[in-house]
Every structure is written in structure tokens, then in C-alpha cells.
Structure 1
Amino acid sequence: MRLPALAPVAAAAASPLGLGAAAAAVAVTAMCLRSKELKPTVKGQGTAWNSAVLSLCPALTAPYRLPALLNNGHVETIFAAWFRKKPHVMYDREIVHMPDGGAVALDTEDLPAAKRLPDDAPVLILLPGLTGGSEDSYVQHAVVHAREAGIRAVVFNSRGTSGSPVLTAQFYSASFTGDMRNVVEHVRNRYPRSLLFAAGWSLGANIMTRYLGEEGEATPISAAVAMCNPFNLPLSDSNFKKGFNKIYDLNLARSLNRIYKEHHHLFEAEAAAPNGRPYRPDVAIKAGTIREFDDAITRIAFGWPTVDAYYAGSSSSLSIPDVRVPLLIIQAADDPIAPKEAIPFDAIQANPQCLLVVTPTGGHLGWCGGRGGVTGAPWTDAAVSEFFSAARQLLAQPEFAAAAAAARARQPLGAPGEPAGVYTLGETTHQAP
């Protein structure tokens, strides 16, 4: 069987130009397949914590190799979305109701008794991107890597994503941290002896960072990681209008449409009710951009007067100064959806809790330079696992006793109890696609 990479060579040899074209094709193919060594850059204050993290997490600064063909933000983004292999994780699903009548789905890996983690193992809450969920390859790889590091992953599927039910005329949004707050409390009560961590991608990272800023020192989360965070939503919205980025905007809008269509009737009924919110369901169901959908549904759901006000007020760059727990931020310099220009470098540098790692490539949710090859787990998985393992170790060491004591103080006293209005509807087991 002929390798696909050699197809251009064979075609060139059969052409009227003969061996000259074949030689050129060989040169182009070799250039595309040749690996390029890449090295992340790190920014942050030289605190004892950051210094210790960097010494314990070699993956954060070590060079990695990537075929030259993938050394492009668009190519890497699309390649990862189409060709990254899935571990096909089996999940236990828990439906958790929220105080406003809505619900979210929490997925935890379903394991045989011999592989189950102890009850006091650290717990990592994972927040996927805009329309992502527990079925996505990058999420499943993170679940597996967490378990291999002795950490229990809980995937937080927001309303409507990954089959999570939509019971009221309300979607989640970039500014909606209410569900995050309730989920964190629910998980803390379920695992009262465990350290809590959090990690988010894309819009999930934006929501998580906003939550950390709002909660400050009160959060039960002991350390967190944000990846591909759009940070500045007005800038990201503007970026969607440029060139090939319009394709991402259209695809994400279609993903929103697919989720929304199943629940269109709820929003129609709300818009028609005498005192209902003035949704525009006729616009939402055929929205061709994220902005159109947000203007028709999201900003109305959360009381923003305009979509621009919603974007400006929901940017997690505003929250960075108020983060009070260790936050590792990983961004790709060529991310077409979360552009480098949106990263709040000065605010991150000014906050001793933040550590920023910028990779020269990676695209959006790509990072195809992982140890498992270009179709394996993202490069970030090893770095994130090392970070949380380091956090676990540092919080237990005497020189970090104050941080460990603060983490313990945030654990609930007495019998665990749900936040007001939050309760579990039921549990199921399902196979991720």
C-alpha cells in the first residue's frame, strides 16, 4: 500500500515534467514532514510557588517537536478536531438540578473496582468549551491523564451540552458563573476530604477564571488551569470576522443551533408569555454567527442591554487581578479563536498567583505535539497533570503550610449538604461516543 505522503511524488513522476517535478515534490513532502523543535515561553512573578512549580513541571518548559506541516494555527486546529483519537471513556453521569430549575450533567469515569481511586483522592472539575462536553477527545484524554496521576476528574457539562438537559429557557453564557459556583459546592460536599482543582478550555476557561475572580479567597478550589482562554470577548468577536476565522464562527454557530433546536419550544413559550423575556427564537434557530445567537438569546437571558455590553462585561481579563489561588494559564501564540492579542499580559504579570505559558503553536484546542504523537493526547495533558501533581505536593509541604491550612479551612464543616436549591436527580452510566 502506498503511503499518502508519497502520492504527490507518484503523481509528479507520471506528469509531463517527469523526474524534475518528482524531485520538487519530494522536497516539499520532506519539508512538510520534517519535525520542528518548539519551546514554550513562561511569564510570571518569581514567587516561591511559581519557582517550585517550574522545577516540578519540566513539561511546561521543555521543547517539543511537531511536523512542519502542522506549524500553523488553522491546520493544527482542524487536524486535532478531525484526527485526534479518543480513549472512549465510560462515564457515570449525575444530573444535578440548579436553583432556577435548570440542570447540568456531571460525568465521572466509570472504573472497575481495582482501578477506582480512594475517596480522598484530589478531584479535578473540567469545563469544556462553548459547545464541548465529555464526548470530546481533548476532554476524554484529560480524564484519563488525571486518573493516571491519581486525580478524579469530573466533567462539568453545561446546560444543553453533551446531552445535559435544558429544562428552562436559559442557556449558559460567558458571564454565567452561577452554575459553576453550585457545581463546585456540590462536588466539595460529595468529596469532603479531597483537594479540589479546576481546569477549563476556551469559553469554559473564561467562565472558570471569572468564577475564581468573583470568589477570591473564598473558593474551595486550591489550584486551576485555563487553556485557550479568549480573555477579551470584544476582541475575540472582532477576530471572528477576519478571513478564515469566519469558518470557525459559522461552525460554532451551527453547533449552538443543533443544541438549541431541541429546546426551541421553551424559548418560544418564554418569548410569548406576558412577562417573559423578549427572546428572538426565530433569529436564534437560524443564527449564522455566535454573535447573532448571543444577541437573540444569551444577552437577553442574563439581562445585558446589548451584545456588545455582554461581551465587554463578561471578559475574564477583568477577573485576573482578583484571582487568589494558583492559576496556570496556557495559550497558543497562533490560536485563531483566542488570539494572543487578547491575553492580559500586564494583569497576569502583576498577580503573583498567575503563571502564563505561551506555546509558539497549538492552534485552538490543538497542541498536537504530545507524547502520543500528532493524533494522541494534546501536549497540554502532560503539563497539566504535572501541575496538579506539583500543587498536591506543595500544598502538603511545611513551607506551604499556610496555603494548605487555607485549603483545609475551605472544606465544609459537619455533615455535607447541598447548596440551596441544588439536588441530584439521578445517575446513569453511558459510553462516550
Structure 2
Amino acid sequence: MLLVIGLSCLVGLGVMVILLGVLSRYMFLTKRQAENRNRDDEEEDVFGDFWESHPGGTQLIYKPSALANWLLRDLQRQSLLQSTDWWMRKWPHIQTIIQNLLPADKILELARDHLQLADGGIVALDWVVGPRGILGTRRGTNTAGSPPLLFIIPNPFGKLTKNTEQFCLRALEKGFYPVIFNRRGQNGCPLVTVKLQAFGEPADLKEAVSYVRFRHPSSLLFLISEGLGSGLLLSYLGECGSSSYITAASCISPVFRCQEWFETGLPWLYDCLLLLYQKFHLSRYSTALADVFPMERVLKSSSLQELHQVLFCQCKGENISWDEYWEHNDPLRDVDEVAVPVMCICSTDDPIRGPAEKTLPIELFRTNPYFFLSLTHYGGHCGFLTKSDVSWSHKVTLDYFSSITEFFQIEEKASVLPRGRSSVTINRRRRETLQRRDRSVTDLHEMFSWKRSYTR
């Protein structure tokens, strides 16, 4: 008995030592990041006196325009980020872990569609149809009375997080119809071709959006991304430009400078967990992928950058440099072509994205009339937890979509277009026609040219 008790004490002591070691390492890294951030603040304060004029801790950064003035006036009527408990303000890692690393509650009722792509690959679309008890009255935002669609792009690691699940629940309550996009081989979607989706390659997303538009031609479509999923969203909007068929988009805790993000690396705990998670899912297809990818090196990679570089830059029969890869996959490569409003919700204490002064392209929001930045002091990465059961970022996103819809409706009534028809009616009828006939690029630009007036 004494021997058993002694062994139990030794095991308990060993666990305590390990936990203390992990905690001390975490505190050291956090302190070093804080010191680096303070040095950066001393060198250059890119935010100026924004916080002085917004003591509530929330600031909307934008280029002045008719739409910006509308959003500023409309969103100011909404509640600011409520004060959270002191431990949430002090340790953004807690919010990040709760919303991203803890298992989801898995209470959503999903109806899955497997969409076969042009090259034979398969992506999965999960239509959120429940739980039935919280379904709100779906309010139509157009003359047909169809509910607005929320096309959700989760993180690129294939993990359905608590943050995504809670957003879907909130959207259902507000009368939206969410659908979750799952990449090849992720979240239960089968990998039937020896091809993985590159970081900023929107070809699969284009086909998925076209399919959703085909099924719901009279519904307004909104795009939402979570964390690194913003890379795919921004790539899609940049490549498609005015022919994206999107009314508005929102990015929650986006990562903009993705090449630098991979090169800088994450705090060791996040890097290890995400690396192991991605290796686990890739190992399921190791035999099939071995014909194209050096899977032995993939599974032995020691960082997310090394894994990504081996997968997409050192394939068998095709080798490109790391810089060349990002020339084709940088989310901001075609940012000037974006032609729909994009709201980005960020916090300055995001431990995944990194210091705001270095990782947020502030000039993009000050010079591009389609981009808006809602910046808070705290919130972590996709956290923004409050004392209520609704994440602040979820409420702001849905309020933003409602405000955009209302603005467009007012613009339609106030504008008289050629041929005497409403712009959205023109868009709706032409989009349905485009699915039956082949239209030229000129027609597409003409179709969406009305939207550019609100950016002046």
C-alpha cells in the first residue's frame, strides 16, 4: 500500500513539474512578445490617437465614402464590446483556446452535399438546418422573400471550432441560412484525387459558390471567414472582382501577411497542436498521396512552414521556390480588384496573428473604399467573448450584413438606372439567365457597375 501511495505521489509530483515548466515557458514567451510589442510601439504608432477618441475600445478604420458614413452611423448605434472579466482582458490566450482548441459542442444539425468538381475532386457543403428549436423566422431580404445565405469558410486545418458553431447558431436565430464549406479531404470530406488545395487557390471555392447560387438564385449571398480561412476568401474576392456574386463579406480575426506568418511561426503550443492535427489527417491518405508528395518528409516536418513548403513547393515532378508559391497564393495579390464591402474584425491582442502594428495593413483600410476594419483592444483570436452567451464579433458581423442590405435597398430606391429597372432586379434576372446562357465579360462588368457609386 505504501509503495502504491509513494508511486502516486511521484507521478503527481512529476505532473506538477511538467505543468510548472509549461507555465513558465508560456509566461516567458508572453513577456518577450509584450516587450517586442512595446518596442515596436515606441518606434512607430500606426494607430495615432484613435484610442483617445474611442475610449470604449472599438474603432472603425475606413476610407470616407457614402457607404462608410452609413456604416459608421449605423454601427455606432450598436453596443460596443462589453467589458469582460479581467482574466479575459489580461490573457487573450484563454479566449483563443476556448473558441479554437476546445472541442465544439456538436449540436448543429447538418445536411451534407458532396459536390464533384471539374477535375473529379470532391468538396463538402454542410447546410445548417438545426437544432430546430432555435430556428428564427427567416426574413427575406429581397422581393422573392428568400432567406439570405451565409457561406462560411472555416480555418484551413479542417477543424470545426466552437467559434464557427456558435456563429451558425446565432445566424439561425437571426433568420439566415448558413452553409459551411469543407475543403478536399477535411472534416469527413473524402479525398478522391491526389490533389490538395493550395493556401490561396480559390478554384474549388468558385465552383462551390456557383453551385450555391444555382440552388438559391434569388437569395442574397454573404461570405464569412474564420482566422486563416480569410486567405481563401480574399483570394476569391480578388480573382473574381465584380463577378463574385457576393453582396458583402466579413473576416473574423483574419491573417493578412500569410507568408510572413508562416515564416515567423506561432507560439510553440499552437504550432505543435496544429502541426500534429494536420499530420494526423494527412496520414490517413499517406499511401495514396505518396505518389505525388514526399509523405515521409511531410510527416517528419517540425513546423507548419516546413510542412506547407514540402507539400506545395517540393512535389514530385514540380519544384517551385517558397517566394514563387506566395506570388500565386498571397491573399492580397489582387486586393485592388475586390468590388464588394469587406468588414474585418480584429483585436490588437491576437496571439495567433501577431502584433497589430506589423500584421495589419492599415493603409489598405485607409485607401480602399471596400475594406473596413473594426479594431478592438482585446478579444484574442476569434474570441471576443463577453459576459453574454453571444460573441461580440458574431453580433457585429450579422448587424453589418443587415446594415449593408438596408443601405443597398435605400440606394436602389434613390437611384434611377438606365432602362428604368431596379439594380438588384437586374442583377437577379441576369444571374438566372447567366446560368442558362454564356455571357461576355463586358456584360458582367455592366451588371455590377452600379455598386461602384457608393464608394465615392
User: Cα deviation per residue 1:184-238 (whole Å; 9 max; x = unaligned)?
Assistant: 1010001011111101012211110111011111110110001222111222123
Kindly state the Cα deviation for residue 46 of structure 1 after the two structures are TM-superposed.
Answer: 2.1
User: Cα deviation per residue 1:23-49 (whole Å; 9 max; x = unaligned)?
Assistant: xxxxxxxxxxxxxx9521110022111
User: Secondary structure in 2 aligned to 1:356?
Assistant: strand
Kindly state the Cα deviation for residue 287 of structure 1 after the two structures are TM-superposed.
Answer: 2.6
User: Cα deviation per residue 1:144-167 (whole Å; 9 max; x = unaligned)?
Assistant: 222222211110011122111111
User: Secondary structure in 2 aligned to 1:96?
Assistant: strand
Q: Does residue 370 of structure 2 align to residue 358 of structure 1? A: no
Distance 1:233 1:178 in 2: 19
User: Cα deviation per residue 1:304-358 (whole Å; 9 max; x = unaligned)?
Assistant: 7123432454222333322110111111211122232222111222111111111
Gaps of 5+ in 1: 1-36, 272-278, 418-433
Equivalent residue, structure 2, for 1:201: 226
- Structure 1's 176 and 412: CA in aligned 2 closer, same or farther, altered over 3 A? same
User: Secondary structure in 1 aligned to 2:123?
Assistant: strand
Kindly state the Cα deviation for residue 380 of structure 1 after the two structures are TM-superposed.
Answer: 0.6
User: Secondary structure in 2 aligned to 1:104?
Assistant: strand
Distance 2:233 2:251 in 1: 8
Is the CA contact (8 Å cut-off) linking 1:283 and 1:296 kept in structure 2? Answer: yes
- Identify which of 399, 408, 411 aligns with 2:431: 411
- Identify which of 230, 235, 258 aligns with 1:210: 235
What is the one-letter code of the residue matched to 2:69?
S
Equivalent residue, structure 1, for 2:302: 288
- Identify which of 384, 389, 393 aligns with 2:402: 389
Equivalent residue, structure 1, for 2:322: 307
What is the one-letter code of the residue matched to 1:106?
L
CA RMSD, 1 decimal: 2.8
Distance 1:61 1:306 in 2: 47
User: Secondary structure in 2 aligned to 1:285?
Assistant: helix
What is the one-letter code of the residue matched to 1:355?
F
Kindly state the Cα deviation for residue 168 of structure 1 after the two structures are TM-superposed.
Answer: 1.4
- Identify which of 97, 101, 105 aligns with 2:116: 97
User: Secondary structure in 1 aligned to 2:255?
Assistant: coil
User: Secondary structure in 2 aligned to 1:203?
Assistant: helix
Q: Flag the structure with more relative contact order, 1 or 2, with Cα contacts below 8 A and sequence separation at least 6.
A: 1
Distance 1:220 1:99 in 2: 20
- Structure 1's 50 and 252: CA in aligned 2 closer, same or farther, altered over 3 A? same
User: Secondary structure in 2 aligned to 1:176?
Assistant: coil
- Structure 1's 406 and 379: CA in aligned 2 closer, same or farther, altered over 3 A? farther
- Structure 1's 38 and 129: CA in aligned 2 closer, same or farther, altered over 3 A? farther
Equivalent residue, structure 2, for 1:80: 99
Distance 2:185 2:278 in 1: 9
Q: Does residue 391 of structure 2 align to residue 378 of structure 1? A: yes
Equivalent residue, structure 1, for 2:87: 69
Aligned residues: 366
- Structure 1's 371 and 416: CA in aligned 2 closer, same or farther, altered over 3 A? farther
User: Secondary structure in 2 aligned to 1:62?
Assistant: coil
Distance 1:216 1:311 in 2: 20
Kindly state the Cα deviation for residue 246 of structure 1 after the two structures are TM-superposed.
Answer: 2.3
Kindly state the Cα deviation for residue 395 of structure 1 after the two structures are TM-superposed.
Answer: 2.0
Q: Does residue 338 of structure 2 align to residue 323 of structure 1? A: yes
Equivalent residue, structure 2, for 1:12: none
Is the CA contact (8 Å cut-off) linking 2:217 and 2:428 kept in structure 1? Answer: no
User: Secondary structure in 2 aligned to 1:101?
Assistant: coil
- Identify which of 57, 77, 85 aligns with 2:75: 57
Distance 1:229 1:365 in 2: 9
User: Secondary structure in 2 aligned to 1:163?
Assistant: coil
What is the one-letter code of the residue matched to 2:105?
K
Q: Does residue 64 of structure 2 align to residue 42 of structure 1? A: no
- Structure 1's 321 and 413: CA in aligned 2 closer, same or farther, altered over 3 A? same
User: Cα deviation per residue 1:348-399 (whole Å; 9 max; x = unaligned)?
Assistant: 2211111111111122122222631xxxx42211001101111222222224
In the TM superposition, 1:197-346 aligns within 5 A as 197-240=222-265, 245-268=267-290, 270-271=291-292, 279-300=293-314, 305-311=320-326, 313-339=328-354, 340=356, 341-346=358-363
Equivalent residue, structure 2, for 1:5: none
User: Secondary structure in 2 aligned to 1:110?
Assistant: strand
Q: Does residue 153 of structure 2 align to residue 127 of structure 1? A: yes
Distance 1:405 1:172 in 2: 35
- Structure 1's 414 and 343: CA in aligned 2 closer, same or farther, altered over 3 A? closer
Is the CA contact (8 Å cut-off) linking 2:95 and 2:380 kept in structure 1? Answer: yes
Q: Does residue 385 of structure 2 align to residue 368 of structure 1? A: yes
Comparing both structures, which one devotes a greater share of its residues to helix? Answer: 2
User: Secondary structure in 1 aligned to 2:325?
Assistant: helix
TM-score, normalisation: structure 1: 0.77
Is the CA contact (8 Å cut-off) linking 1:370 and 1:380 kept in structure 2? Answer: no
Is the CA contact (8 Å cut-off) linking 1:189 and 1:416 kept in structure 2? Answer: no
Distance 2:116 2:382 in 1: 29
- Structure 1's 65 and 94: CA in aligned 2 closer, same or farther, altered over 3 A? same
Is the CA contact (8 Å cut-off) linking 1:213 and 1:319 kept in structure 2? Answer: yes
Distance 2:173 2:388 in 1: 15
Distance 1:401 1:370 in 2: 46
User: Secondary structure in 2 aligned to 1:396?
Assistant: helix
Is the CA contact (8 Å cut-off) linking 2:65 and 2:369 kept in structure 1? Answer: yes
TM-score, normalisation: structure 2: 0.73
Distance 1:125 1:45 in 2: 26
In the TM superposition, 1:10-49 aligns within 5 A as 39-49=57-67
Distance 2:345 2:242 in 1: 22
- Structure 1's 205 and 238: CA in aligned 2 closer, same or farther, altered over 3 A? same
Gaps of 5+ in 2: 1-54, 418-422, 438-456
Distance 1:394 1:414 in 2: 26
Kindly state the Cα deviation for residue 132 of structure 1 after the two structures are TM-superposed.
Answer: 3.7
